[in-house]
């Protein structure tokens, strides 16, 4: 037997056989060479599925576990000759669920796929002497790729020209950047942390690490959704329970037949029992409601220009109680302008501008500070350079050895070794307190060695820059404060500068600012709650701050757009990046702001709360019916085995409950606006209503049936069925009312409409059964009104049982909710 060869091995073999194209960095491959690589399938294309295929969408919606059971029940009912249309109402609901599921899934796929095109990583390649931007998957073997700060390395490459620092943490787990020089290998799916250069693609497609980022991003930092876990548990338990009940019902009917005895009831009655039990036990509506609600949330966020990359991050948005903002992009728009230059050494202002301009030109840095220095030096001629050190967020400076001038550096105060005077410190502190961003120009005495400046440096000038505060920053901050969300501002800039800007936009406790320069990671848990503004934060410290807040019980959202935000974004419960930010930040974030604006964050968090609060609110409606059917199925099975009463209810009897107190109101309640904070466990919150409701509904029916068994003269079985249907239907509306609390016009309107329709359906059912409406379609609720005695005894018992059951349900549910909130407050 031949050994199995994986795609990576096949690609390696193809690469080894391929002709060698050693194109220059200036010319790159020719069009003919690119086409030959494509014909040989030596491209960076890798089979991946970012969204469901259309086949999968149709298959999942048509052949889900519950759908198969319900289709089988409907077929069995048809074979048994059950011809009442209202008995098949669950099939209509099932068909509607399938259609709605298909429409929402297809629409979500179209929107998400369309929006993903805007955020998919790109690669810059040199072909026929021109720089082109192409999709990463279109890179071919031997392509000349240009890499800049923040770019994703599209495949395994060999660095031909330039110096850069690579973040390989997604591949190796090492957070420290790796310096790359000419001749070094760059791994696919790593990111350029600083610097720039030209490289050649040496391994593409399955032979490279290009998919490692996708795999790592899905398994690192993705929240384990409580809703997903809880609903899957509910579906598993109820699915197994319904099958066991169905199997027990099947054996109860057929075992006597197999033993040669006559069945105690007809095949038709057996099917009515079986369908009544299993249809009531299966919470198929909950499955639909969960997927539909989340899909609607995705579409709503897409309209707000937010690309949802992780479906269940909507839940985490609803649970967020702490938001970690970077200053840039949230409080300020990321643009800087030079405010002034304070001279310290023997240089003129014009020379200081030229030196700073020359450093940026040499390093090729393209951050906001570098852009401001370029603008400030516009019109001057840059000095040539021989060596340079690009800016890096961990060292906070960039440097260059300029021809005929020596080595100079520009960076944050305190990050370059120098003999700083008290006057310099005081001047920088004064500028920072006024909200200016400050950089110092230094003359480096020893020069550059091993990618860093060595020895002491002499400060020559202080550059002060002003951030542009976003016009909507204050309003956004106020929304979060009013909504009970704590705010942390985490920035690589000076703490005083950031604190001043935070104070101007209304961040509470903005005066609690601390510089994290030199603070060890083990001290961060003690500082996380004590301070609001954190300056001079390294990438590792950002991640440690997020983790410390999480360990203190907070659900943390993190915003960022740069390579230095990657570690913190991966740690956060919900991460949000800007489309214009680095490819690294975009690809590991749960949400991407497509319009490069975090001003939609209040709306996005509010949308998350709306979706999950409404899902949590309405899920108990479906589960209460499942509990009710499960309890009664077991009780009446035991009764049947003992020669007593069999399960008495059919699918028709559930019409009021299934449609008017669950299905229709659940849909409308899921659309209601709400900005309430999410409290407690999802499963506990729905069980606190579902278990008392389902239990009380079961007990009310059992009390009514017990009266029938004790005194058949007091109440016939037909009367017991009728009173039970009215009692559990009325109790289902009590559950709906509790779900609609606290009251609002919208919720009360939904409840009132459904209750009015229920009363109308009862009158219509009586009119059809009595022949008042001459339509030969039978009753809607499956009630035998002719055999039912509506005397004062049965009616009084029905009303009393309903009243006691409703009172007990409200009391137990209120107690459970109060106890849960008390325990949550104690934590």
Q: How many Å apart are CA 441 and CA 480, to the nearest integer?
A: 39
Judged against a pLDDT cut of 80, whether residue 758 lies above it is answered with yes
- The residues that bridge with 192 in the sheet, in sequence order, are 166
Judged by phi (left if over 0) then psi (alpha if -120 to 50, else beta), residue 350 lies in alpha
Say what the pLDDT of residue 353 is: 93
Statement: the pTM of the whole predicted model exceeds 0.95: no
- Tokens of residue 332, six digits: 């300020």
Say what the pLDDT of residue 61 is: 78
Say what the pLDDT of residue 341 is: 92
Greater model confidence, 597 or 26? 26
Q: How many Å apart are CA 147 and CA 144, to the nearest integer?
A: 10
CA nearest 296: which of 272, 276, 314?
314
Say what the pLDDT of residue 497 is: 83
Question: What does the pLDDT look like over 676-734, one tens digit per residue?
Answer: 666 667 888 888 888 999 999 999 999 999 998 888 888 898 999 999 999 999 999 99
Mean per-residue pLDDT of the chain: 83
Q: For the chain, state the CA radius of gyration.
A: 34
> Residues 584, 587, 591, CA angle at the centre, nearest 5°?
120
Judged by phi (left if over 0) then psi (alpha if -120 to 50, else beta), residue 390 lies in beta
Question: What does the pLDDT look like over 790-807, one tens digit per residue?
Answer: 889 999 999 999 999 999
Does the CA dihedral 776-780-782-784 come out positive or negative?
negative
Question: What does the pLDDT look like over 396-440, one tens digit per residue?
Answer: 899 999 998 999 999 988 888 887 778 888 888 888 878 788 999
Active-site residue, selected from the candidate residues 105, 326, 365, 561: 326
Question: What does the pLDDT look like over 126-146, one tens digit per residue?
Answer: 999 999 999 888 999 999 999
Backbone angles phi, psi at 233, to 5 degrees: -65, -45
Query: Is 321 annotated as catalytic?
Result: no
- Tokens of residue 315, six digits: 């839940």
Helix pair 682-710, 717-739: axis angle to 10 deg: 160
**pLDDT average, residue stretch 605-622:** 81
CA 182 to chain centre: 41
Say what the pLDDT of residue 2 is: 40
The set of residues, in sequence order, having a beta carbon less than 8 Å from that of 117 and lying 6+ positions away, is none
Residue 558 · residue 567 · CB < 8 Å: no
What are the start-end ranges of the H helices in 331-462? 349-363, 368-376, 422-433
What are the start-end ranges of the H helices in 211-344? 212-219, 226-258, 267-281, 284-303, 313-319
Judged against a pLDDT cut of 90, whether residue 487 lies above it is answered with yes
């Amino acid at each position: 037997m031949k050994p199995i060869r994986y795609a990576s091995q096949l690609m390696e073999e193809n690469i080894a056989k391929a002709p060698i194209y050693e194109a220059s960095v200036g010319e790159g491959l020719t069009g003919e060479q690119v086409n030959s690589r494509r014909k040989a399938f030596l491209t960076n294309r890798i089979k991946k599925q970012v969204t469901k295929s259309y086949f999968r969408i149709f298959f999942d919606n048509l052949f889900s576990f519950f759908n198969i059971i319900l289709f089988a029940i409907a077929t069995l009912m048809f074979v048994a000759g059950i011809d009442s249309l209202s008995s098949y109402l669950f099939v209509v609901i099932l068909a509607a669920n399938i259609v709605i599921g298909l429409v929402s899934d297809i629409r979500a796929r179209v929107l998400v796929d369309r929006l993903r095109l805007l955020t998919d990583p790109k690669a810059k390649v040199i072909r026929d002497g021109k720089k082109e931007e192409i999709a990463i998957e279109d890179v071919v073997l031997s392509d000349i790729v240009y890499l800049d700060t923040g770019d994703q390395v599209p495949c395994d490459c060999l660095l031909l020209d330039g110096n850069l620092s690579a973040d390989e943490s997604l591949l190796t787990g090492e957070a420290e950047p790796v310096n790359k020089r000419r001749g070094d290998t760059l791994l696919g799916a790593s990111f350029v942390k600083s610097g720039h250069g030209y490289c050649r693609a040496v391994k593409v497609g399955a032979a490279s690490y290009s998919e490692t980022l996708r795999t790592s991003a899905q398994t690192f930092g993705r929240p384990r959704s409580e809703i997903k876990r809880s609903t899957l548990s509910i579906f598993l338990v109820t699915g197994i329970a319904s099958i066991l009940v169905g199997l027990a019902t099947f054996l109860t009917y057929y075992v006597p037949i197999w033993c040669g005895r006559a069945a105690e009831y007809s095949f038709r009655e057996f099917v009515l029992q079986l369908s009544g039990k299993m249809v009531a036990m299966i919470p198929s509506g909950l499955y639909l409601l969960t997927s539909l609600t989340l899909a609607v949330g995705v579409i709503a966020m897409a309209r707000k220009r937010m690309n949802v990359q992780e479906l269940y991050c909507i839940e985490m948005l609803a649970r967020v109680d702490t938001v970690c903002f970077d200053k840039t992009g949230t409080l300020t728009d990321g643009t800087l302008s030079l405010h002034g230059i304070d001279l310290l050494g023997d240089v003129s202002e014009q020379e200081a501008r030229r030196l700073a301009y020359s450093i940026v030109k040499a390093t090729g840095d393209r951050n906001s500070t570098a852009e401001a220095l370029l603008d400030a030096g516009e019109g001057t001629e840059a000095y040539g350079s021989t060596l340079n050190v690009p800016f890096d967020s961990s060292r906070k400076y960039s440097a260059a050895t300029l021809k005929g001038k020596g080595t100079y550096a520009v960076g944050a105060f305190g990050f370059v070794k120098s003999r700083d005077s008290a006057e310099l410190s005081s001047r920088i502190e004064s500028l920072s307190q006024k909200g200016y961003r400050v950089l110092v120009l230094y003359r480096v005495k020893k020069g550059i060695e091993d990618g860093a400046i060595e020895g002491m440096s002499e400060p020559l000038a202080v550059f002060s820059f002003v951030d542009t505060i976003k016009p909507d920053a204050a309003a956004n901050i106020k929304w979060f404060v009013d909504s009970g969300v704590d705010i942390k501002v985490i920035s690589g800039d000076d703490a005083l500068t950031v604190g001043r800007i935070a104070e101007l936009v209304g961040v509470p406790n903005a005066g609690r600012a601390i510089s994290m320069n030199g603070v060890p990671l083990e001290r961060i848990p003690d500082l996380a709650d004590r301070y609001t503004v954190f300056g001079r934060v390294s990438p590792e410290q950002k991640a440690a701050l997020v983790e410390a807040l999480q360990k203190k019980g907070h659900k943390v959202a993190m915003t960022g757009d740069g390579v230095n935000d990657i570690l913190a974004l991966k740690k956060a419960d919900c991460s949000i990046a800007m489309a214009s930010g680095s490819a690294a930040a975009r690809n590991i974030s749960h949400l991407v702001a497509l319009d490069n604006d975090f001003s939609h964050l209040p709306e996005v968090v509010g949308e998350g709360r709306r979706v999950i609060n409404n899902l949590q609110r309405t899920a108990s409606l479906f589960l209460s019916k499942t509990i009710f059917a499960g309890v009664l199925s077991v009780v009446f099975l035991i009764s049947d085995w003992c020669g007593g009463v069999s399960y008495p209810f059919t699918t028709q009897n559930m019409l009021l409950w299934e449609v008017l107190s669950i299905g229709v109101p659940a849909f409308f309640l899921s659309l209601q606006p709400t900005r309430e904070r999410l409290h407690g466990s999802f499963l506990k919150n729905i069980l606190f209503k579902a278990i008392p409701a389902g239990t009380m509904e079961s007990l009310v029916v059992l009390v009514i049936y017990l009266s029938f068994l004790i005194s058949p003269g007091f109440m016939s079985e037909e009367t017991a069925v009728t009173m039970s249907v009215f009692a559990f239907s009325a109790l289902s509306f009590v559950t709906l009312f509790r779900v609609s609390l606290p009251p609002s016009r919208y919720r009360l309107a939904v409840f009132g409409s459904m209750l009015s329709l229920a009363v109308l359906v009862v009158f219509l059912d009586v009119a059809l059964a009595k022949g008042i409406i001459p339509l030969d379609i039978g009753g809607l609720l499956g009630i035998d009104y002719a055999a039912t005695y509506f005397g004062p005894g049965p009616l009084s018992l029905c009303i009393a049982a309903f009243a006691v059951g409703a009172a007990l349900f409200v009391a137990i549910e209120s107690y459970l909710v109060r106890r849960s909130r008390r325990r949550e407050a104690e934590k």
